[in-house]
Amino acid sequence: MALSMLQLPKWLDQQTLLVDHSFALCCIFIFFTLFIVWLANQYSTRKLIKNLPPSPPKLPIIGNLHQLGSLLHHHIHILSEKYGPFMLLHLGSVPTLVISSGDMAREIKVTHEIAFANRPRTIAMNMLLYGCTDIVFSPYGEHWARLRKISAMELLSNRMVQSFRYIREEETALLIQKITSSSSAKSPVNLTELLKTLSNDIICRCALGRKHGGEDGKTNRADLAGECVKMMSTLCVGDLFPRFGWIDKMTGMTGKIQKLSKDVDTYFDQIIDEHIIQKNNDDPHYNKDFIDVLLQIQKGDINFTRENIKALILDMFIGGTDTTYTTIEWTIAELVQNPNVMRKAQEEVRKVVGTKMKVEEDDIQKMEYLKLVVKESTRLHPAAGFNVVESAKATNVNGFQVPAKTPVFINYWSIQRNSKSWERPEEFIPERFSNNAVDSVGQDFNFAPFGVGRRICPGKSFALSVVESTIANLIYWFDWKTVGGEKLDMSEAFESTICLKMPVHLVAVPHFC
């Protein structure tokens, strides 16, 4: 999630479209000014900092941007194979460290964890997340520790995750009904869209107490959170060239972010006010959502502001929507591509469920092979791809000097496909985890789809409960085939997550007729 800010090609395309003939003179002036600034930066960097990590040759002003493409994780992986697992890229005027091995990830996340406990902020994130007062991007310190405690003990505890079980079951049942209707009409299922809706609806109900489209079926503004996720995937000029943030005002980017920020703020205020008026916390039969919990915390903590509540709620959408649906999507796609694995997983699920004709979450704890399938899916297709942190101070790492305020991209897409750590790393083999103690709890640096260390994803249990439950239901109720017997297009796209480039359309054949 934090990693959607890496959409450099999208940024370049957006800026290119803004240039026309009437803007040419201004562009020449900007280019000339940037060139002067670049020369000054080159001089000061060489003078003040020695023994920097290895780096590919860079161009004036744009640095290494020309060597990156739409699949950023691929291009960085290719560069790291040549320049090593500890590599410095220059994204515009911003030096950026890239880590591409588990050993180097351990150096950053263990040996120097406090020095790299912060996250870099983009202009969009800072404006949309109330000055980055949320848990994902707030600086390491007392405020972050307090939010982390609230998330771990109140919002995303095992008790709270279990309290939302009825929501997962209801939304999953609706998903199965939709697929059944399509299969009855002998129509292919657009699984991608259905999973997006499922993920959004679950998060909306858990966080806001209402679905994406409102309980009455009418449209509301919950989709604004999704717009925020998309906006955070766009870099501004000021992110790559901090001295020229004024260009974002000229292009209208700043105004666009400000408007979205105001709309989101107004919507969240409306939802919070509704919760305060309803006062459902006094009803013992009322199922609390995230806002109810946070309002209860606020009563006992005057330093916990409404802005903190809104920032945390927005975090739930950033970390729990696209990452969840893409993980389910990749897993089903891999199962379809590997029929023997699909058959084995289905046999286990149907054996555990037996004659109950309903997949219960308690059953999933007995589905050992299903859990191996999910592990292998997150190894081969980590939703975020990158774990991003930032150096709080100048730090010597592995004999190299890393300047203060340097963003660090830990490329887990690359690490989890490293042939030195994984046998046949490009193949989908769930059995590789059957006699392997490796788990995604942040202790193994060759397998960390949820991150590691202090900044590990606090919503891991919540996400896995949705992922495992949904997959178990999909393969329990249906047999899946590709449209016309053709192979799925497994090409990747890099948007807010690493997702499938093309929507997944499949034929669902009901198993119980």
In tens, the pLDDT along 261-307 reads 999 999 999 999 989 887 765 666 677 899 999 999 998 888 899 99
pLDDT score, position 384: 87
Higher pLDDT, 308 or 279: 308
> What CATH number does the domain containing 199 carry?
1.10.630.10
pTM: 0.87
Residues 342-363 pLDDT 10s:
999 999 999 999 988 889 999 9
Q: Write the CB contacts of 170 (distance below 8 Å, at least 6 apart in sequence).
A: none
Q: How far is CA 309 from CA 270, 276, 277, in A?
A: 13, 13, 17
With a cut of 60, say whether residue 441 has pLDDT above it.
no
pLDDT score, position 280: 60
257: containing domain: 4-510
pLDDT score, position 231: 87
- Residue 128, Cβ neighbours under 10 Å: how many? 26
pLDDT score, position 148: 92
Structural domains in the chain (count): 1
Q: Which two tokens stand for residue 137?
A: 């991007």
Q: Which two tokens stand for residue 109?
A: 């996340």
Q: Which residues are annotated as a binding site for heme?
A: 457
Kindly report the backbone phi and psi dihedral angles of residue 390, in degrees, each rounded to the nearest multiple of 5, phi listed first.
-145, 140
pLDDT score, position 47: 45
**Least confident window among 56-60, 130-134, 218-222, 432-436:** 218-222
pLDDT score, position 41: 56
Rounded to the nearest 10°, the torsion over CA 362, 368, 372, 375 is 30
Q: Which residues are annotated as a binding site?
A: 457
